[in-house]
Amino acid sequence: MKKKGLFGVFSVIFLSMILKIWWINNIPLSPLYDFETFYRVAVNLFNGEGFTLDGYPWAFQSYGYPLFLSLFFRLVNNSSIFTAKVFNVICSTLTLPFIYLIFNKVFKNKKVVWFSFILFAFIPNNLIYINVLGSEILSVLLLSVIICMNLYVTEKNRIGNFVIQGILVGLLSLVKPFFMAYPIVLIFIYLLKEKKLVPVLKIGISLIVGFLIIIIPSTIKNYMAFGKAFPISYNGGYTLYINNNSENIRGTWMNAFVIPASDEFKRELADVGFIYDVDHQTEKTQNLRNAYSGDIFKKEAIKWIVSHPGEFIALGCLRVVNVFFDGASDVKLWGFENLEQMTVMQNRWFKVFMGFANAIVYVISASFIFVLLLNIKNIFLKKTDISVLLTVWSMLFFYAVYFVVEGQARYNFPTIFFMIICFGWLMEKVIGKKEE
C-alpha cells in the first residue's frame, strides 16, 4: 500500500475512534434487558464469582461477550459501565483495518473502496452500538477477521488458516450461538469453489478441529455447572417457541404465558421446575435459572411449525422484513434514552439523524436483493469469485437464521459490511471497475 493510502486508512480509523469516544462521553445510555445482564455477568466474572447471575449459575444467553468483557476488566482492573464502552470502542477500532482489507480485495475501483470504508466507519449503527453493552460490536470484529482470512488465504498457509478460522468461528459462536452452523456455510462455499472432494475434506476437517477446540471445553463447562450437556446457552428452545406460535403477530419476542398451551405441555414443564402460567418477571426468572425447559419448548415449537406451515412461512417472512427492511429503528430503540426530554431544536436534529440512518439501511438492504438477483446462477458456479460466494451465501445464512427465529432490526448489525459490499458492487456497475 502506498504511503498516501496508508495515511488515509489511519486517518479514517483515527477520526472514527475520536467520534466514538466523544459519543460515549456525551450521549448517556444505561444498559437495559439483555445488555444489563451481560454487564452484570461480566462484573461477576471480574469479581471471581464465575458465570453467575443473582447467585445462580447462568448460561441462558450466550456468554462470549461477558467473557471477553471480563477479561478486559481484569486487564485494566476496572469494571465500570464506561470501561465496558471503552472496550466496545477498542473492538470497533480494531475491526476497521480488517474491513478496509476486505473492501480493498472485493472492489476494483478505489473510489468505491474509500466510499465504502468511510461509510462503514461512520454509519450511525456503528456509533450507537458502541454505547450498548451487547454482542454486536465484538461479533463483527470476529466475523470480519474470518472473512478477511478467507479472502487472503494462500495454498501455503491453507490448513493453518482454516484451523484458526475454526477457532474464531468457535469464539464467534460463544458470542452469537447461531454461528455454530457457519462452518457448514464455509464448507459448502468451498465445495462450490473447488468441485473436488479431497481439498474440501481437508478444509472441513481443519475448520471442525479448530471449532471443537472452543466448543468442547464450553460444553464441559456447562455440564459441570448444570449437569446437562449443551454447547453454549439453553435459551434456543424457549426462543423458538415464543417466536413460532399462533399468537405471535409481529415476528418478535413475546411472553410465553400469553400463548395458550395444553395441560400435558404444562405438566412436562412443571416436571422440570418451570411453571407456565406466571407473570412476566417470574417467567423471566425461571428462564434465567432453568436449563432443562428448553428441550420441551423446542419440541412444542417444532410440533407447531410442522402442523402450521403456512403460518410459519408468514411469520418467517415477517421476521426477515423486521430485520432487514425496518430501517434503523434499532438505532432509535437501543441507542438513546430520555428522548422525551429533548428540546425542540434537538428533536429536529434527531429527526434529521434518524432520516439519514434509515435511508442508509434501506439502500444497503435493497442492494443485497439486487446483487442476489444478478448472481442467482453464478452463486453455484466454480468460476464465481470467492468474494461473491462469501457475501451472498453468508447473507443467505443470516436470512435463513432470522426466518426461523426472532426478527428485529438490531439483528442486521453483523450483516452491515456485507450489505455495503453489495452496494459497492452496484456502484461499480454504474461508474465502472477501472483501477484508479
Q: What is the pLDDT of residues 268-295, one digit of tens each?
A: 999 999 999 899 889 989 988 899 999 9
Average pLDDT, the chain: 94
Cell of 164: 484458526
Length of the chain: 436
Q: What is the pLDDT of residue 1?
A: 61
Burial of 227 (0-12, 13-18, 19+ CB in 10 A): exposed
Residue 389 is assigned to a structural domain of this protein: yes
Identity of the residue numbered 345:
M
| H or E segment and range at residue 373 | helix 344-374
Q: What is the pLDDT of residue 226?
A: 93
pTM over 0.75: yes
The structural domain count of the chain equals 1
Res. 136: pLDDT tops 70: yes
Between the alpha carbon of residue 431 and those of residues 8, 108, 112, 404, the distances in Å are: 22, 11, 9, 38
pLDDT band at 156 (very low <50, low <70, confident <90, very high): confident
Q: How many CB atoms lie within 10 A of CB 164?
A: 17
CA 96 – CA 120 distance, rounded (Å): 8
CA 324 – CA 329 distance, rounded (Å): 10
Residue 168 is assigned to a structural domain of this protein: yes
Sign of CA dihedral 425, 147, 230, 234: negative
CA 155 – CA 407 distance, rounded (Å): 39
CA 283 – CA 273 distance, rounded (Å): 12
Residue 165 is assigned to a structural domain of this protein: yes
Helices (H) and strands (E) in the chain, counts: 19, 2
Place of cell 411469520: 315
CA 278 – CA 193 distance, rounded (Å): 52
pLDDT band at 147 (very low <50, low <70, confident <90, very high): very high
Residue 139 is assigned to a structural domain of this protein: yes
Residue 252 is assigned to a structural domain of this protein: no
Residue 294 is assigned to a structural domain of this protein: no
CA 84 – CA 53 distance, rounded (Å): 18
Q: Using DSSP, state whether 271 is helix, strand or coil.
A: helix
| H or E segment and range at residue 309 | helix 309-324
Residue 255 is assigned to a structural domain of this protein: no
Which residues lie closer than 8 Å to 96 by C-beta, 6 or more apart? 12, 13, 16, 117, 120, 121
Residue 299 is assigned to a structural domain of this protein: no
Q: What is the pLDDT of residue 139?
A: 97
- Long-range residue pairs from 237-241, CB within 8 A, at least 24 positions apart, any chain: 237/293, 237/294, 237/295, 237/296, 237/297, 237/298, 237/299, 237/301, 238/287, 238/293, 238/294, 238/297, 239/405, 239/406, 240/297, 240/298, 240/301, 240/302, 240/404, 240/405, 241/297, 241/298, 241/300, 241/301
pLDDT, tens only, 212-228: 999 999 999 999 999 99
Full residue range of the structural domain in which residue 73 is found:
3-238+307-431
Res. 155: pLDDT tops 80: no
Res. 436: pLDDT tops 70: no
- Nearest Cα neighbor of 61 from 290, 301, 232 is 232
Q: Taking residues 188-200, what's their average pLDDT?
A: 90
